[in-house]
């Protein structure tokens, strides 16, 4: 039952990311309109959401794989370690995307040069953090796919 529940949890998470695309669109438009960030500067939000979706897809199927692994041994321990790491990184990245970005920046009525500069600095720090976290999560995804014998099939590729 544990494996089935985790499978379904990641399946729901994948579906949530599909619905969240509209939220990201709105967030990008708001950040562009209210704070003057270029659309290309906000691409990292789409990239991070795409990464979360890919990780959820793989994690979903790792529970099927884990169900059929022998209950003990180094292979199962390594697999569970990699799975847990990917899950933690994916959940953290997803939480970062759900933050209220608008609250991090100065309001439209408080547009002094110092506040605009501070908003830009906050944005650049946030962008860097999410971009780096997306890359780290991608590396964990690559690692688990490399270490699972049929990992390419979990990521939608066939050998």
Q: What is the pLDDT of residues 49-90, one digit of tens each?
A: 999 999 999 999 999 998 888 778 888 888 999 999 999 999
Whole-angstrom distance, CA of residue 23 vs CA of residue 21: 5
- For every residue of 87-149, DSSP letters joined together read HHHHHHHHHHHTS-SGGGS--TT---HHHHHHHHHHHHHHHHHHHHHHHHHHHHHHHHHHHST
- For every residue of 28-92, DSSP letters joined together read HHHHHHHH---GGGGHHHHHHHHHHHHHHHHHHHHHHHHHHS-SSSHHHHHHHHHHHHHHHHHHH
Q: What is the pLDDT of residues 96-112, one digit of tens each?
A: 998 877 777 655 455 55
Q: Where are the domains of the chain?
A: 2-154
Q: How many CB atoms lie within 10 A of CB 7?
A: 18
- pLDDT-derived band at 151, boundaries 50, 70, 90: low
Q: What is the pLDDT of residues 21-48, one digit of tens each?
A: 999 999 999 888 988 889 999 999 999 9
- The class level of CATH for 2-154 reads mainly alpha
Judge residue 141's burial from the number of C-beta atoms within 10 Å of its C-beta, 0-12 exposed, 13-18 middle, 19 or more buried.
buried
pTM of the model: 0.83
> Considering only CA atoms, which of 60, 59, 85 is closest in space to residue 140?
85
Residue in the block written with tokens 């509209």 = 22
């Amino acid at each position: 039952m544990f494996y089935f529940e985790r499978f379904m949890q990641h399946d729901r998470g994948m579906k949530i990311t599909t619905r969240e695309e509209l939220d990201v669109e709105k967030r990008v438009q708001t950040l562009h309109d209210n704070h003057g960030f270029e659309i290309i500067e906000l691409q990292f939000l789409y990239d991070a959401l795409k990464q979360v979706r890919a990780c959820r897809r793989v994690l979903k199927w790792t529970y099927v794989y884990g169900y059929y692994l022998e209950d003990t041994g180094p292979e199962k321990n390594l697999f569970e370690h990699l799975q847990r790491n990917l899950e933690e990184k994916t959940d953290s990245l997803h939480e970062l995307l759900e933050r209220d970005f608008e609250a991090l920046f100065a309001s439209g009525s408080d547009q002094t040069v110092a506040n605009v500069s501070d908003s830009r600095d906050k944005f650049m720090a946030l962008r860097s953090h999410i971009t780096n976290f997306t890359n780290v999560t991608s590396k964990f995804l690559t690692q688990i796919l490399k270490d699972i014998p049929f990992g390419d099939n979990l990521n939608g590729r066939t050998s």
